[in-house]
Amino acid sequence: MSPPEFGADFRARFAELIAWRRDVRRFRPDPVPEAALRESLALACLSPSVGNSQPWRFVRVSNPERRAAVTASFTRCNDAAASSYDDARASAYRSLKLAGLREAPVHLAVFCDEATAAGHGLGRATMPEMLRYSAVTAVHTFWLAARSHGLGVGWVSILCPEEVTAALDVPPSWRLIAYLCVGYPAEEHADPELVRHGWQERQGTGVMTER
C-alpha cells in the first residue's frame, strides 16, 4: 500500500484544526452523538506509546453520584487555588470559569495503567514517566478528533487525583492523567479563554535552540 500524500490544502485545514482546538468550559446541553465519541476514542487509541504499551484507559463517568464527587473535588481545589493568590489576582481567578463539569453532557476520565504488561517494559527502564506521557498523547489526539466533529473538550486539572480515583473505583495501578468534559461548545472563539479574559497572553510560537 502506498503512503497517503498530504498536500497544501490538507496542511492548511490541519492548521485550522490545531488553531481551533480550544479548552472549552461552556457547553450546550445537546447530547453527544455516540458515533462521534466512539470514532474520536478509536483515533485516540492510534496515538504513539512507549514500547507500544498503549497504557491509556478511558472511563466514561455517567453515574450522578460519581460526577458529584468529582465536582466536589473541583470546588474544594478551586477554592484552595484562589486563596493562594494575592487580592487582585485572586479576584481575577474567581471571575474565571474553569470547568464545565455541570454542563458537559459527557465526562471522560483518562488514566495511565502503570502496571500494564503490554510493551514488555521497552523504553521505560530509564524514563518510566514515558507511560504517562503516552497517555497524554492519547488525550491530545482525542481532543483534535473531537474538534473535527464540532465537539469541544475541556481538560479539568483543578482536582485531587486521589479523590477522583477513589470516586471512580478504578484499579490501584491506574494513575489519573486527565478529566475531560466533552460536548458542543456554547461559544466559538479562535483565541483561548484565558487570553480573552485577561489572565495570560500568548507567549508566541516559541524558539528552537541549538546546542
Q: Once rounded to an integer, what is the mean pLDDT over residues 1-28?
A: 95
pLDDT beyond 80 at 148: yes
**Cell 460536548 identifies what position?**
183
Q: Once rounded to an integer, what is the mean pLDDT over residues 143-159?
A: 98
Query: Which residue type occupies 49?
Result: S
Question: Residue 43's pLDDT is what?
Answer: 98
Cβ neighbors of 166 (< 8 A, separation 6 or more) are none
Output the pTM of the full model: 0.94
pLDDT tier, 78 (very low <50, low <70, confident <90, very high otherwise):
very high
Question: Residue 146's pLDDT is what?
Answer: 98
Q: Once rounded to an integer, what is the mean pLDDT over residues 46-63?
A: 98
pLDDT tier, 166 (very low <50, low <70, confident <90, very high otherwise):
very high
- pLDDT, tens digit, 9 for 90 and up, residues 173-201: 999 999 999 999 999 988 888 899 889 88
Triad 189, 23, 127: Cα angle to 5°: 145
DSSP result, 100-127: -TTT-SEEEEEEEETT--TTTTTTTSS-
Question: Residue 154's pLDDT is what?
Answer: 97
Cβ neighbors of 66 (< 8 A, separation 6 or more) are 167, 168
Instruction: Tell which wins on pLDDT, 52 or 191.
Output: 52
- pLDDT, tens digit, 9 for 90 and up, residues 102-138: 999 999 999 999 999 999 999 999 999 999 999 999 9
Question: Residue 211's pLDDT is what?
Answer: 84
Q: Is residue 146 within 8 Å of residue 40, measured between CB atoms?
A: yes
Instruction: Tell which wins on pLDDT, 197 or 64.
Output: 64
Q: Is residue 60 within 8 Å of residue 133, measured between CB atoms?
A: no
- Alpha carbons 2 and 21: distance in angstroms, whole number: 30
Fold of 22-196: NADH Oxidase (3.40.109)
Report which of 194, 200, 158, 195 is spatially closest to residue 179, judged by C-alpha positions: 158
pLDDT beyond 90 at 157: yes
Question: Residue 208's pLDDT is what?
Answer: 78
> Domain locations in the chain?
22-196
Question: Residue 203's pLDDT is what?
Answer: 81
Question: Residue 176's pLDDT is what?
Answer: 98
